[in-house]
C-alpha cells in the first residue's frame, strides 16, 4: 500500500517533469535567434515560399497558440513529420529505437556483470590483486575515449582476428563490439562507485553488530553490506543506462549503426527542426522513465525512502 502510494506519487512527478522539460525545449528553440523558416528556405527563397514553410512548421501563429499545440502534440505523442524525408518523426524514432535499446541493454549488462562483482571484490579485499586490477581498469575506462576503443576493437576482433563482423546491425553478434566500446567507460564509473559504496557500508556500525552476532564474513558482506551498497549502485547504474538510451552518437558513428544517436546527429546537420524537437522530447521521456524505474527499485531496496 505504502509502496503503491509511492509509485503513484513518483508517476505524477514523472508527468510533471516531462511537462517542464517540454516547455523548456519549446521556449529554447524559440529563443534561438533566426527564423527556422529562413534557414530552411535558404537565401534565394521568395516571401511566399518562406510563408509556406512557416505554415508547415506551424510558426505562422502566435507563440501562445504554438505552445498549446506543442503540448497537445506531446500528449498525443505526435511530433509531426521530418522536413527532410517527410516521414513521421514518430516512425523515424521508433524505427531506430530498438537498436539503441539493445545496445544500451548490452552495454549496461557488461557494466553490471563486470563492474559490480569487481567493485565488491575490490572493496572486500582491499589492496589485493583484484583491487589493483579494478583500479587500473577504472582509470583506463575513464581515460580511453570510446571512439578509439571502438576502432581498436574493430581492428583487432573484426579485421586481424575476424571473430565479429566489421559492420552492419542485423544480429546480436554485430552489437557485441559496439556494446563493449560503449559499456567500457560506463563500467569504470559503476566500478568506482560500487567499491566506494561497499567500503563505506563495511565501515558502518551495523557491520559491527553483524560481527558481534558471530555471522560469517560471507553473510556480513553479501547479506548486510551489499544490500545497503546497492542503493547507491542502482542509482548510478540507472543514470548510466538512461544516458546510453539517448543514443551513443560516437559509437554508432564508428560502427556505422543506424541508432538514435546518428538519427539526431543528422537531424541537427540538416536543421530538421521537427525531428530535433521530437528527439529531445523522446530522450527526455525515456530518461524520465528510467529514473522512475530506478526510483521504484530504489524504494524496494531502501525502505526508508518510501515515507520521505
Partner 1 sequence: MLEIKNLNISFVQGEKEANALRGISLSLKRNEVHSLVGESGSGKTVTSTCIMGLLPTPPGRINSGQIILNNQDLLLLEEKDQRQIRGKEIAMVFQEPARYLNPTLKVGDQITEMLILHLGMSNIEAVDRALEILELVGLDGGKRILDSYPHELSGGMKQRIMIAIAISCNPAFLIADEPTTALDVTLQLQILNLMLSLKNTLDMGILFISHDLRVVHDISDWVSVIYAGRIVESTSRKELFTNPKHPYTRLLLESIPDADKRGQRLQTIPGKVPDAENIPGGCAFHTRCPIAEDICKTDLPETKEVGSDNSGTSHTAACHFIGKQWKN
Q: Could you tell me how many residues of this chain bind partner 1 (CB under 8 A)?
A: 23
Instruction: Tell me if 301 contacts partner 1 by CB under 8 A.
Output: yes
Alpha helices in the chain (DSSP H): 2-31, 36-41, 47-57, 63-75, 89-110, 116-124, 129-143, 146-154, 172-202, 205-212, 217-218, 226-245, 249-254, 260-269, 273-301
Residue whose CB is less far from partner 1, 143 or 307? 307
Given a contact cutoff of 8 angstroms between Cβ atoms, the answer to whether 115 and 269 are in contact is no
Which H helix or E strand runs over 135? helix 129-143
Query: Which of these segments, 93-101, 113-121, 125-133, 200-208, binds partner 1 (CB under 8 A)?
Result: 200-208
Residue whose CB is less far from partner 1, 191 or 229? 229
What sign for the dihedral angle of Cα 222, 227, 231, 235? positive
CB of 295 to partner 1, least distance (A): 16
Residue whose CB is less far from partner 1, 52 or 196? 196
Instruction: Tell me if 304 contacts partner 1 by CB under 8 A.
Output: yes
Residue whose CB is less far from partner 1, 48 or 205? 205
CB of 193 to partner 1, least distance (A): 18
Task: Fill in the per-residue mask, 205 to 244: x = in contact with partner 1 (CB under 8 A), - = not in contact.
Answer: xx-xxxxxxxxx--x---xx--xx--x-------------
Given a contact cutoff of 8 angstroms between Cβ atoms, the answer to whether 193 and 154 are in contact is no
Task: Fill in the per-residue mask, 53 to 82: x = in contact with partner 1 (CB under 8 A), - = not in contact.
Answer: ------------------------------
The DSSP symbol for 223 reads: I
CB of 239 to partner 1, least distance (A): 21
In angstroms, the CA 69 to CA 87 distance is 20
Which H helix or E strand runs over 143? helix 129-143
CB of 206 to partner 1, least distance (A): 4
In angstroms, the CA 179 to CA 248 distance is 10
CB atoms < 10 A from the CB of 173, how many? Answer: 11
Q: Which three cell numbers stand for residue 256?
A: 556505422
Q: Which of residues 165-184 bind partner 1 (CB under 8 A)?
A: none
| Residue numbers at the binding site for partner 1 (CB under 8 A) | 204-206, 208-216, 219, 223-224, 227-228, 231, 301-304, 307
Amino acid at each position: 500500500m505504502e509502496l503503491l502510494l509511492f509509485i503513484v506519487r513518483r508517476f505524477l512527478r514523472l508527468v510533471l517533469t516531462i511537462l517542464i522539460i517540454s516547455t523548456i525545449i519549446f521556449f529554447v528553440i524559440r529563443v534561438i535567434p533566426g527564423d527556422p523558416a529562413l534557414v530552411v528556405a535558404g537565401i534565394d527563397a521568395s516571401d511566399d515560399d518562406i510563408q509556406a514553410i512557416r505554415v508547415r512548421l506551424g510558426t505562422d501563429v502566435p507563440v501562445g497558440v504554438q505552445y498549446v499545440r506543442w503540448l497537445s502534440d506531446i500528449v498525443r505523442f505526435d511530433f509531426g513529420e521530418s522536413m527532410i524525408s517527410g516521414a513521421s518523426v514518430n516512425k523515424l524514432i521508433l524505427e531506430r529505437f530498438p537498436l539503441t535499446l539493445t545496445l544500451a541493454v548490452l552495454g549496461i549488462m557488461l557494466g553490471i556483470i563486470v563492474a559490480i562483482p569487481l567493485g565488491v571484490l575490490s572493496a572486500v579485499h582491499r589492496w589485493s590483486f583484484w583491487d589493483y586490477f579494478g583500479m587500473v581498469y577504472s582509470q583506463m575506462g575513464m581515460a580511453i575515449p570510446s571512439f578509439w576503443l571502438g576502432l581498436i576493437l574493430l581492428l583487432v576482433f573484426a579485421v586481424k582476428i575476424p571473430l565479429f563482423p566489421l559492420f552492419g546491425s542485423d544480429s546480436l553478434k554485430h552489437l557485441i563490439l559496439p556494446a563493449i566500446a560503449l559499456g567500457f567507460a560506463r563500467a569504470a564509473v559503476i566500478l568506482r562507485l560500487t567499491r566506494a559504496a561497499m567500503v563505506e557500508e563495511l565501515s558502518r556500525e551495523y557491520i559491527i553488530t553483524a560481527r558481534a552476532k558471530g555471522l560469517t564474513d560471507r553473510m556480513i558482506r553479501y547479506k548486510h553490506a551489499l544490500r545497503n551498497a546497492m542503493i547507491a549502485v542502482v542509482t548510478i547504474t540507472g543514470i548510466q543506462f538512461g544516458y546510453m538510451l539517448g543514443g551513443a552518437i560516437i559509437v554508432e558513428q564508428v560502427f556505422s549503426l543506424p541508432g538514435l544517436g546518428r538519427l539526431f546527429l543528422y537531424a541537427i546537420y540538416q536543421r530538421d527542426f521537427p525531428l530535433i524537437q521530437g528527439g529531445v522530447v523522446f530522450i527526455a521521456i525515456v530518461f524520465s522513465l528510467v529514473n522512475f524505474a530506478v526510483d521504484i527499485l530504489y524504494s524496494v531496496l531502501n525502505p526508508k525512502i518510501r515515507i520521505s
